[in-house]
Amino acid sequence: MCRKKINLGLMTRFSLVVLASFLIFSFTVVAETLPEKIVVGCLEPLTGAHAVFGTEAKVGIELAVQHINQAGGIQSLGGIPLELVTEDVGETAMSARLATESLISKHHPVAVLGLYISRLTTAASEITDREKVILVADALVDDVTEMGRQYLFRPAPKASMQGRSAVEFVLGAAEKAGISMEKVAILNEDSSFGRSNALGAVQGALDNGLTIVYQKEYPYDITDVSSIVHGIAAAEADFVVHCPYFMDAIIFAKTFRELGKIPKFIAGMGACGYTDPESIQALGEIAEGYSNTYSYNPAKDTPQNRKFVEEYTAKVGHIPTEAAGMNYYGMWILKEALELSGNLFPEDPLNPDNLRKAFLELDLTSGPAVEVFPTDHVTFDGKGDNPYARATILQVINGEPKVVWPFEDAETECIFPRLDATY
């Protein structure tokens, strides 16, 4: 008797499982008629070691969606608003894949923004390509666009360009100040991002006839950097080009100051680092004079950018970080692509291949997307890179990050060399 009961229980449970699966299945199959909203996904690392970037990026995306909808949605599609869905991608390839599959299968977005970390992007972009979902990437590592992904677009300047920009900025500023710079030290944290930046800097240094007297890669969770600072001083480097991860910028700046061995200039390259609002707050007056490349220009004096900076500052308490800025303009560029797709392919604008074509056709020189973009030209090559992307350089002057390079877009004159340089 009893055994029968158990088997029955198992059978019912089994059929329940089947039933539940069918229910889930039927819910996920959504009829593809005229949508009332265009669903866009946000996949950012909101927990784990990279959460610091992801949480800022998420706010940038949210604001962009809000602004786009306020401005009347996608006009060429009859003013359809955007709807944002978010998932946390964690810090491993496994969680990134799960999140991407989950978001795409539940919400069927036409496009996804984010991922930030190159290895998460590598894992997730395989899925977005398979599902033909546009991925507007914010991972800056050069290789992200070298994998042959068809539906991946990256508006921001790639990492090696940032490294090169840092070197060019220092040389330009030195020339203006009439100082000669010959010996450079290059430092980077040991991720693929740090490596890409450093390669760009090395190339930039060699092209300009500089001697690289010191070069080290270090893990970002380093606990003491005295020996590196001593090493740079012993090599008598004129200036340092450094790609910090984030927190390591703080320990480097403090150690430079404390040991009193400060070269003529210390230029940061790559995301955040020295000029991030958090670092500036944490460093206090030590932050003075540090510069860092930025894939976004918070000082760009355009109506759209002022609005973004103002609302972002009101919401978060500091000016937009690079992660927030990149995603804010990423979303606006996506919006422009949707508009273009609506014009070019009115019969099926949300078809991924049509949208992809629209991205490739995109050639923006004005409008809100360009108003928040660091340069005045957005277009994509076959790989998905924007050939007109350039980094700007921010320097901490009187406790505020100010745009100092390119010189023609500068907010103020840069301080060069460092006032507290000791050799």
Where in 128-147 is the site for another protein (CB under 8 A)? 130-131, 141, 143, 147
Give the Å distances, CA to CA, from 287 to 48, 124, 162, 250, 346: 26, 36, 20, 9, 52
C-alpha span between 258 and 385 (Å, rounded): 41
Which window, 178-186, 201-209, 275-283, 381-389, contacts another protein (CB under 8 A)? 275-283
Q: Per the structure block, which two tokens stand in for 176?
A: 């203006």
3-state secondary structure of 283: helix
Cβ nearer to another protein, comparing 46 with 77:
46
The minimum distance between CB 128 and another protein, in angstroms, equals 12
* 197 lies in the site for another protein, by CB under 8 A: no
Among 87, 385, 409, 411, binds another protein (CB under 8 A): 87
Among 35, 75, 150, 190, binds another protein (CB under 8 A): 190
C-alpha span between 388 and 361 (Å, rounded): 15
CB distance 138 to 154 below 8 Å:
yes
Q: Per the structure block, which two tokens stand in for 102?
A: 């989950």
Where in 42-61 is the site for another protein (CB under 8 A)? 42, 46-52, 54-55
Q: How many CB atoms are closer than 10 A to CB 29? A: 8
* 179 lies in the site for another protein, by CB under 8 A: no
C-alpha span between 243 and 272 (Å, rounded): 9
Cβ nearer to another protein, comparing 202 with 250:
250
* 92 lies in the site for another protein, by CB under 8 A: yes
Long-range CB contacts for residues 126-130, cutoff 8 Å, separation at least 24: 127/97, 127/100, 127/101, 128/100, 128/104, 128/152
C-alpha span between 120 and 132 (Å, rounded): 18
Where in 209-238 is the site for another protein (CB under 8 A)? 216-219, 221-224, 226-228, 230-231, 234
Where in 347-366 is the site for another protein (CB under 8 A)? none
CB distance 313 to 60 below 8 Å:
no
The contact pattern for another protein, residues 13-42, with x = CB under 8 A and - = no contact, is: -x--xx--xx-xx--xx------------x
Q: Can you list the positions of beta strands (E) in 258-326? A: 265-268, 291-294
* Total of chain residues touching another protein, rule CB under 8 A: 89
Cβ nearer to another protein, comparing 16 with 71:
16
* 85 lies in the site for another protein, by CB under 8 A: yes
Where in 391-420 is the site for another protein (CB under 8 A)? none
Rounded to the nearest 5 degrees, what angle is found at the Cα of 150, between the Cα atoms of 145 and 151? 95
Cβ nearer to another protein, comparing 215 with 302:
215
Which window, 97-105, 372-380, 382-390, 411-419, contacts another protein (CB under 8 A)? 97-105
Among 212, 282, 360, 410, binds another protein (CB under 8 A): 282
The minimum distance between CB 105 and another protein, in angstroms, equals 4
